């Protein structure tokens, strides 16, 4: 019985070391695979019940696991949508076949790195067919509130090369000087005009025409102007009219003293602005605060537009996209504007090593891993999203070769035990 158990234990040893060698060969074969996580084989002894004081060899069994929580170093690349996770957490992806299948929401898989590039539909996809998933942004670039314990809100990140975007103008800061000589007795009283371009809700170019009319007194200086605003999108319509009074004191000469609204939105002396309605909606016009030295001034004899600032932009074509450390996908257009179009969350589970390992360095949450949660990158336990980077394989080739030598010796020793048991059985047979 003891001799037979020795044979069985050695056979189990051969099988266990063969399994370990399989894991070592898998690790070495994937030493150049980005995002690969090591497979590890643990041995556990089998102890059989003892009867009559006789020892019976139980042998050995193996347990395998993939060390998914083991991070590796990152390497730089030249592609802005090569992504890796700097720390804890996983990128949400789905199979392109699952996305195009159309049978409900695609299944969320997890990975730590990927080289994502636009496909024919603009979706960010790896060469192996993994689609990057994220939350789409609203028109105002905010991210809606999605449930963090479900993947239902995730959509394929789509960056189309023919995507267009424009920003309507909502504010104009006006900085110019009006000639003080035009409000003196005997002045010509001619109007001065300034046209300021803005972009409407459809990205079209329109103009607000500012017409400044001086008040010419019978004697002395009035230091008063009337400004009217018209909109090229509304021909013949005055959208605002205001009376401007300027200081002529020694300490505040040339600065705004008062603004009286004739039509249009009321002037706010604190912010130095008023609101008028252009064809596309309200627009804030900032002319400077009362007594301030910015905005409108009345000095000397020159009409000088000094500084005109406005927001908004014309329609532009998408030229590039990048992902910041917090997972926000920014699209840059040739008009110079940058917009948030998606947010990529990082997924975390209590026990990463308990997830089910799939092909292409992807993982699926399971009962052993615990329930997943979608975090904003850089918050909670998760790390950051790193662009222009890939995660290297977690294989240590030198360590695997050392383990291979140990496994080879252990396998040979078990084979030697079987040979020895065979010789003992042969001697027993020869006794008959």
Rounded to a whole number of angstroms, the CA Rg of the chain reads 38
CATH architecture label of 169-311: Sandwich (2.60)
Cβ contacts of residue 160 below 8 Å, gap of 6+? 118, 121, 122, 318
The neighbour count for residue 9, using CB atoms within 10 Å, is 22
Q: Does residue 5 register a pLDDT over 90?
A: no
Token couple for 346? 């990082």
Q: Which of 122-131, 181-190, 197-206 has the lowest mean pLDDT?
A: 197-206
Range with the poorest average pLDDT among 16-25, 182-191, 205-214, 314-323: 314-323
Give strand pairing partners of 228.
Answer: 211, 241
Residue 337: other Cβ atoms inside 10 A: 17
CA 57, CA 212: separation in Å to the nearest integer?
105
Residues 6 or more apart whose Cβ sits within 8 Å of residue 429: none
User: What's the mean pLDDT in 253-273?
Assistant: 95
Edge-first strand listing for the sheet containing 113-115 = 113-115, 82-86, 384-387
- DSSP notation for 357-376: EETTTEEE--TTT---EEEP
**Cα separation of 381 and 219, whole Å?**
76
Give the model's pLDDT for residue 13. Answer: 87
Q: What is the DSSP string of 153-204?
A: T-EE-B--TT-EEEE---EEEEEEEE-GGGGBTT-----EEEEEEEE-TTS-
Dig out the tokens for 28 from the structure. 């070495």
Check: CB of residue 415 under 8 Å from CB of residue 53: no
Q: CB-side exposure of 395: number of CA atoms within 13 Å?
A: 21
From CA 327, how far away is CA 135, in angstroms rounded?
10
Q: What is the DSSP letter of 231?
A: E
Q: Which two tokens stand for residue 39?
A: 């497979």
Contact 56, 2 (CB under 8 A): yes
Whether pLDDT at 197 is above 90 = yes
Q: How far apart are the first and last CA of the chain?
A: 18
Asked whether the beta carbons of 309 and 300 are under 8 A apart, the reply is no
Window from 4-18, 41-55, 390-404 with minimum mean pLDDT: 41-55
Phi and psi angles of residue 264, each rounded to the nearest 5 degrees, phi first: 95, -175
Could you tell me which residue, 59 or 288, shows the higher pLDDT? 288
Asked if pLDDT for residue 150 goes beyond 60, the answer is: yes
Tell which wins on pLDDT, 166 or 340: 340
- Please report the DSSP string for 96-117 in residue order: HHHHHH-SSSPPPEEESEEE-E
For the cut 70, the answer to whether the pLDDT of residue 53 exceeds it is no
Q: pLDDT per residue over 82-101, tens digit each? A: 999 999 999 999 999 999 88
Residue whose tokens read 């850089």: 378
Residue 52: the pLDDT is 62
Instruction: Categorize the per-residue pLDDT at 43 as very low, low, confident or very high, splitting at 50, 70 and 90.
Output: confident
Residue 105 has pLDDT above 90, yes or no: no
What number of helices (H) and strands (E) belong to the chain? 3, 31
Where are the alpha helices (H) located in 313-367, listed in sequence order?
none
At residue 380, does pLDDT exceed 60? yes
- Residue 1: is its pLDDT beyond 60? no
Give CA–CA dist 325/153, Å, rounded: 21
Contacts of 1 (CB under 8 A, 6+ apart): 54, 56
- Mean pLDDT score, 116-133: 94
Task: pLDDT band for 33, please (50, 70, 90 cuts).
Answer: very high
Going from N- to C-terminal start, the domains of the chain cover 2-67+394-430, 92-144+316-391, 169-311
List residues bridging with 44 in a β-sheet.
61
The pLDDT of residue 360: 93
Query: What is the per-residue pLDDT for 83?
Result: 97
Residue 73 has pLDDT above 70, yes or no: yes
* The pLDDT of residue 11: 87
For residue 161, pLDDT over 70 is answered with no
């Amino acid at each position: 019985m003891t001799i037979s158990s020795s044979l069985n234990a050695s056979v189990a040893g051969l099988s266990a070391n063969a399994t370990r060698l399989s894991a070592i060969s898998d690790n070495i074969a994937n030493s150049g695979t980005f995002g690969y996580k090591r497979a590890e084989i643990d041995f556990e002894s089998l102890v059989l019940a003892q009867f009559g004081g006789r020892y019976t060899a139980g042998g050995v069994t193996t347990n395998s696991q993939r060390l998914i929580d083991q991070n590796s170093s990152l390497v730089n690349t030249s592609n802005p949508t090569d992504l890796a996770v700097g720390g804890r957490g996983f990128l949400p992806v789905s199979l392109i076949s699952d996305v195009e299948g159309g049978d409900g929401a695609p299944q969320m898989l997890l990975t730590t790195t990927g080289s994502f590039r636009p496909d024919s539909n603009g979706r960010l996809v790896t060469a192996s067919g993994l689609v990057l998933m994220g939350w789409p942004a609203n028109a105002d670039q905010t991210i809606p509130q999605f449930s963090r314990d479900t993947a239902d809100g995730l959509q394929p990140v789509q960056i189309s090369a023919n995507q267009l975007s424009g920003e309507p103008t909502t504010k104009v800061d006006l900085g110019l000087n009006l000639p003080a000589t035009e409000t003196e007795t005997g002045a010509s009283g001619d109007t001065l005009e300034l046209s300021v371009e803005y972009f409407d809700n459809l990205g079209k170019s329109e103009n607000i025409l500012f017409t400044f009319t001086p008040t010419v007194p019978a004697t002395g200086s009035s230091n008063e102007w009337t400004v009217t605003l018209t909109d090229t999108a509304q021909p013949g319509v005055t959208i605002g009219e205001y009376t401007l009074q300027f200081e002529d004191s020694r300490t505040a000469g040339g600065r705004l003293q008062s603004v009286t609204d004739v039509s249009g939105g009321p002037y706010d002396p604190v912010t130095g602005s008023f609101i008028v309605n252009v064809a596309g909606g309200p627009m804030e016009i900032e002319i400077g605060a009362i007594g301030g030295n910015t905005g409108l001034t009345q000095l000397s004899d020159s009409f000088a537009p000094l500084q005109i600032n406005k927001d908004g932009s014309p329609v532009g074509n998408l030229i590039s996209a990048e992902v910041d450390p917090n997972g926000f996908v920014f699209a840059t257009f040739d008009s110079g504007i940058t917009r948030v179009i998606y947010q990529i969350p990082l997924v975390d589970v209590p026990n990463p090593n308990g997830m089910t390992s799939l092909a292409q360095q992807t993982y699926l949450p399971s009962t052993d891993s615990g329930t997943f949660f979608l975090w904003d990158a850089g918050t909670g336990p998760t790390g950051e999203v790193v662009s222009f980077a890939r995660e290297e394989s977690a294989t240590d080739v030198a360590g695997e070769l050392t383990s291979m030598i140990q496994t080879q010796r252990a396998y040979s020793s078990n084979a030697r035990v079987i040979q020895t048991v065979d010789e003992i059985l042969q001697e027993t047979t020869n006794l008959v």
